[in-house]
Structure 1
Amino acid sequence: MYAARKRPRQQRSRHTVEVILEAAAQLFQRNGFNATSTNHVADRAGVSIGSVYQYFPNKDALLVALAERHLDAALRGLGSVFDEIRRADLGLEAALRVLVGAVASAHRDRPELHQLLFDQAPRVPELVARLRDGERHLAALLAAELRRMGRGGPDAEVNALLAVQGIEAQLHGAYLHPPAGVDREAVVEAVTVLWCRALGEPLVPDHATGGHDHLERRHAPGADHQV
């Protein structure tokens, strides 16, 4: 019901599908999901309604395909962010500023469509599985960087997964809909500071090495931002 009827194999077919999806994205963003019909999408795309139905049986299938496209683009973009972090050999705070900034930027791009996809795209098993696989992939990249920095606490992999999921959820909520009197850049700063603190623990607990310097440093004014 929600899946595309078939996957395009030829270049021309792939182009047609992209045109249809872009038309749907523009109409969903401008008019809303309920006010948009498949006939509207066909007219906007400049194709016949039969061409739409050749690939998408209904509007829900269009929405799922858009969610897949959005997810794939986000994963590619964040993968490039981790390449940048690794090449620049960034510390924790600088790395998180790049990462949180990239996630915020993705939310700035067509926010109404982003909200629609989050709220109304059917949670089909294939889409959920792709999301979870993507989260685990990004968490592995983040965990590797945390280990390079000697940060992330005694279980960097778990903490990295919590960070990947948490940053997305926090920005989706508070960035798209900030509290009264708070601008979006303040939200980005708050999320960055929060995860600097959460991920700033050393890989090896101090009690394992017999030292207490880190505990004292953690509670010193401004110490949470030393990376």
Structure 2
Amino acid sequence: MRLLEKGGMAALTTNAVAATAGVSIGTLYQFFPNKEAILDTLADHEMAQMRQRVMLAMKDAGTTSTQARIAAVVEAVAASYGERHGAHRIVMEHSLDRRSNRMGPLIAALLTHLRQYRAVGPIRRALSPQDAFVLTHSFIGVLHAMIADDQTIVSKAEIAEALSRMTCTFLGQ
């Protein structure tokens, strides 16, 4: 991640990774056959952490409004950037590559969560499969754009507010 933050994709070479890790290039190749494998491992790790943060936000019993829940989800995604915004953006874009299914586990977790009755939280009723699908994929599309668009002039708070309006209207709240 330090190499990516410092110099972008051009800095991520197997030689640089080996030198930074303090191992020989041969040792590195025992674990990673190329820089793509290194990036895949970083992407898998980042997506797993993001999925965990998003699902914690979705299941937080202390969140009492739809708006607060959506703001927490947006913040959980934004937290995926960490301290190294450039490196995290590169890794997250790699994660969201159309050839990869790294979003699959997060989408499955969200669909399962939305299709179940919940005893606590602002949205308790189970959504129909089609409503859960539309809501999940609408969110994922916006969050994907939020990650990919580093030139956005829209703040996280504005994104959360717009997603809240969309969700409340969709759910008839």
Give me the whole-angstrom Cα distance separating, in 2, the residues matched to 1:109 and 1:168.
23
Structure 2 counterpart of 1:94: 68
Structure 2 counterpart of 1:112: 86
1:192 Cα shift? 2.8
| Aligned partners of 1:139 and 1:164 also within 8 Å | yes
Of 72, 76, 82, which residue of structure 1 is paired with 2:52? 76
The 1:95–1:145 alpha-carbon spacing in structure 2 relative to 1, beyond 3 Å, is farther
1:195 Cα shift? 2.3
Give SS of 2:64's match. coil
> Which blocks of at least 5 consecutive residues in structure 2 are unaligned?
none
Of 160, 166, 169, which residue of structure 2 is paired with 1:194? 166
Instruction: State the TM-score, normalized to the length of structure 2.
Output: 0.76
1:77 Cα shift? 1.9
Q: Higher RCO, 1 or 2 (CA under 8 Å, sep at least 6)? A: 2
In structure 2, give the amino acid aligned to 1:36.
L
The 1:104–1:144 alpha-carbon spacing in structure 2 relative to 1, beyond 3 Å, is farther
Q: How many residues are matched?
A: 170
1:122 Cα shift? 9.2
C-alpha RMSD of matched pairs (Å): 3.1
Aligned residue runs from structure 1 range 16-165, under 5 A: 25-84=1-60, 87-88=61-62, 90-107=64-81, 110-120=84-94, 127-128=100-101, 130-144=102-116, 149=123, 155=128, 157-165=129-137
Structure 2 counterpart of 1:169: 141
